[in-house]
Amino acid sequence: MSALAAPLPVIRPITDLRTQLNDVCTQATELQEPIVLTKNGVASFVLMDSNAYETTERRNRVYLALREAEIEEKYRPEALNADDSDAKMREIFALWNLDYPSNGA
């Protein structure tokens, strides 16, 4: 969804929490969107239905996992075959003056 198509945020004064709590909670549940609470005309807090919050968090976790996978794929070196991997391990063991175990043991 583009920024132009996004709905305008619901803005309410923070005093509505004291005077109209049930109405604010019902609105948050029905809209499944954050409600911006203002104090002296300035945005101070955001109220959100717990189901909407969980959905948003789940979407963010999936997005971050996909983004991480994209970055890993982009910068991951080429995979080694078994012989090359074995040779590299022998090199490392030699640098540490250790005997390389034979037969994978």
- Burial of residue 42, with CB atoms counted within 10 A of its CB: 0-12 exposed, 13-18 middle, 19 or more buried: exposed
Containing structural domain, residue 22: 10-95
Place of tokens 């078994």: 82
Q: Kindly state whether residue 5 falls inside one of the protein's structural domains.
A: no
Contact 64, 71 (CB under 8 A): no
pLDDT recorded at residue 104: 53
pLDDT in tens, the chain (105 residues): 565 666 788 999 999 999 999 999 999 999 999 999 999 999 999 999 999 999 999 999 999 998 988 888 788 777 778 888 888 888 888 888 888 877 654
Domain count for the chain: 1
pLDDT recorded at residue 12: 96
Q: Kindly state whether residue 37 falls inside one of the protein's structural domains.
A: yes
Q: Kindly state whether residue 44 falls inside one of the protein's structural domains.
A: yes
Q: Kindly state whether residue 4 falls inside one of the protein's structural domains.
A: no
For position 35, which CATH number holds?
Answer: 3.40.1620.10
